[in-house]
Homo-oligomer: A and B are copies of this chain.
Amino acid sequence: MDAVNALIRTRMASEHAPRIPEVTAHLVEAGGKRLRPMLTLAAARIFDYAGPYHVHLAATVEFIHTATLLHDDVVDESAQRRGRPTANLLWDNKSSVLVGDYLFSRSFQLMVETGSLRVLDILANASATIAEGEVLQLTAAQDLATTEAIYLQVVRGKTAALFSAATQVGAVIAERSEREVQALFDYGDALGIAFQIADDLLDYTGDTAVTGKNLGDDFRERKLTLPLIKAVAAASAEERLFWQRTIEKGDQRDGDLDYAIALLRRHNALEQTRADAFAWTNKAQRALTVLPRSDMRDLLSDLAEYVVSRLK
């Protein structure tokens, strides 16, 4: 991970435009979990991969992640990220859009250096899924007709596509069998979905002191996340009027969040969402069983439990 961090620092430099490393450093040095690059390193290490390119690919996925965060904060008009003011607030939306583009192109250069067309294909497809999921999330917001299938598509875009690409490319550069490549894709996909479902559940049930986020942000932003989708599907005619007023029309008043949470509880939506998250964790762990036993495999398995441990 030290090598990854060193490569990130080298490649985020720009000879001509000092604004770029300023904005990037603000985000990269803010102490993110570096979860995605860690996935790539661990995946490659399961197979004792000894070449240099797992470091390039780990830096690649972190750059893609950072680029999407910069663009997300513009799209969501966010003011805080990782407990600090966002780049769009500190500089401006322009810098966030353009520095995001720069990091995406830098990630592209890094992956070309691996010389693997298969890796490029995987990351190109992941990029398209990410961007499509973001647009889908934009158009699905405030729409009570959003189904669990659409939610899953959005989650694959915003979270799981980069997780699965991060783990899959680890097996690809280690030149492993299709079965093992697929297993690492399946692991990353299920891990990303479990991670995002847990995040969306904690938005209604979390301890603010632990999550560092406000309770009910998604409700206030009128996002159709899994707990809400389940509650809307089970709603009585009267309850449906409540959801239409608060989510579709955005007319929210004092006490609405409490009533929304009461409805989620009444229809067991929180419990069912929690069960879904654990089911995806189990799926992630099962995918690992075709891989050789190793400390790194155990680490990935533990990680799948860790992302839902916050729900216990």
Q: Does A89 contact B (CB under 8 A)?
A: no
Residues of A229-246 whose CB lies within 8 A of B:
none
Residues of B close to A132: CB separation below 8 A: 14, 16-17, 20, 102
Main SS of chain A's interface residues?
Answer: helix
In the complex, which of the residues B106, B115, B135 contacts A102, with contact meaning CB atoms closer than 8 Å? B135
Determine whether the beta carbon of A17 is less than 8 Å from that of B124. no
Q: Does A94 contact B (CB under 8 A)?
A: yes
Residues of B close to A97: CB separation below 8 A: 71, 74-75, 97
Interface string of A9-28 (1 = CB under 8 A from B): 00000101111100000000
Min C-beta distance of A304 to chain B, whole Å: 27
Residues of B close to A153: CB separation below 8 A: 16
CB-CB nearest in chain B for A76: B94
The complex is assembled from copies of this chain, and their number is 2
Q: Does A139 contact B (CB under 8 A)?
A: yes
In the complex, which of the residues B17, B101, B135 contacts A71, with contact meaning CB atoms closer than 8 Å? B101
A interface, size bucket: 35 or more
26 A-B interface contacts by CB (under 8 A): A14-B132, A16-B132, A18-B139, A20-B135, A71-B97, A74-B94, A74-B97, A75-B93, A75-B97, A93-B93, A98-B135, A99-B135, A101-B130, A101-B131, A102-B131, A102-B132, A105-B128, A105-B130, A105-B131, A106-B128, A108-B108, A108-B124, A109-B125, A109-B128, A112-B117, A115-B117
Instruction: Name the 6 nearest CB pairs between A and B, nearest first.
Output: A105-B127, A102-B131, A17-B135, A105-B128, A101-B131, A75-B94
Q: What 4 new A-B contacts, CB under 8 Å, besides A98-B131, A108-B124, A117-B117? A: A71-B98, A71-B101, A95-B135, A102-B131
